[in-house]
Amino acid sequence: MAYWICPSILAADFARLGEEVDQVLEAGADTIHFDVMDNHYVPNLSVGPLVLNALRRRGVRACVDVHLMVKPVDRLIGDFLEAGADYISVHPESTEHLHRTLSMIKEGGAKAGLVFNPGTPMTYLPPVIDLVDLVLIMSVNPGFGGQAFIPQSLEKLVEARALIDSSGRPIRLQIDGGIKIDNISDAARAGADSFVAGTAIFNTDDYAQTIGALRDAIATTS
Ligand code: DX5
Ligand code: ZN
């Protein structure tokens, strides 16, 4: 599976979001990671489906993976399907009925992601793995950009990689939180194939150079 670099819009300049998204795609990003926070499931507030819809109307055709940090989550799924999400990822703690929530995403025509916080056990995955297209391992507690990478997440990646491989399904394994040029290769070695990076990309001046450096660092693992 090709490696994906997934810039998180959370670290972009929201006053120029359209431009920022265009620039990061031009610089070689594979997907746009769209962080949605509700000041309830996580202690922060970001953007909703109207903003995704505005990006689509602007002409953004690229793959957008929506990371929902909202509770309850079900009611917003239809809105994000309509707004043009390609992937919709949910936390098991954000729904009473995980199988139903993942089924709603799939039936709506999007790919479904399942997200694991540092304190969430991987035992949620096997019962629903047939519905899952992406496993997202959080390497920080969700809610904020710019936090430090939690090293135990590497063990989580190894565990997730083994479950994915034994399922035989083409599931992406994404890592999110504190990913930088100097630790991305550890995540790749532990089994990740998709790398969310917010501040590591948007806090630099030359997005193409930064994305290139992230890819070079991954290449050192193979
Ligand atoms: C955290 C978000 C992340 C965050 C990553 O709750 O899910 O996507 O924006 O930001 P960095 O890469 O700065 O840790
Ligand atoms: Zn995220």
Determine the pLDDT at residue 213.
Answer: 98
Per-residue model confidence as pLDDT tens digits over 96-131: 999 999 999 999 999 999 999 999 999 999 999 999
Above pLDDT 70, what percent of the chain? 100
Determine the pLDDT at residue 149.
Answer: 98
* Nearest CA, atom 6, ligand 1: 142
Distance, CA of 57 to CA of 51 (rounded, Å): 10
Average of pLDDT values for 179-206? 98
Q: Tell me the HSE value of 35 on the side-chain side, using a 13 A CA sphere.
A: 26
Distance, CA of 203 to CA of 86 (rounded, Å): 26
CA of 177 to the centre of ligand 1 (A): 5
CA of 178 to the centre of ligand 1 (A): 7
Q: What is the pTM of this model?
A: 0.98
- Residue 209 tokens, joined: 């150079």
Per-residue model confidence as pLDDT tens digits over 49-62: 999 999 999 999 99
Determine the pLDDT at residue 24.
Answer: 98
Domain tally, the chain: 1
- Is the CB of residue 197 less than 8 Å from the CB of residue 35? no
Environment of ion ligand 2 (residues, CB < 5 A): 35, 67, 176
- pLDDT bin (cut points 50, 70, 90) of residue 44 is very high
Q: Tell me the HSE value of 45 on the side-chain side, using a 13 A CA sphere.
A: 1
- Give the structural domain span for 194: 4-219
Among the listed residues 50, 177, 66, the one whose alpha carbon sits nearest the alpha carbon of residue 112: 66
pLDDT at position 65 over 80: yes
With a 6 Å cutoff on the Cβ, whether 191 touches ligand 1 is: no
Distance, CA of 211 to CA of 190 (rounded, Å): 20
Distance, CA of 126 to CA of 28 (rounded, Å): 33
Give the bridge partners for 111, in sequence order: 87
- Is the CB of residue 27 less than 8 Å from the CB of residue 207? yes
> Tell me, what CATH number does 200's domain have?
3.20.20.70
Residues designated as active site: 35, 176
- Is the CB of residue 67 less than 8 Å from the CB of residue 35? yes
pLDDT at position 222 over 80: no
Give the bridge partners for 112, in sequence order: 88
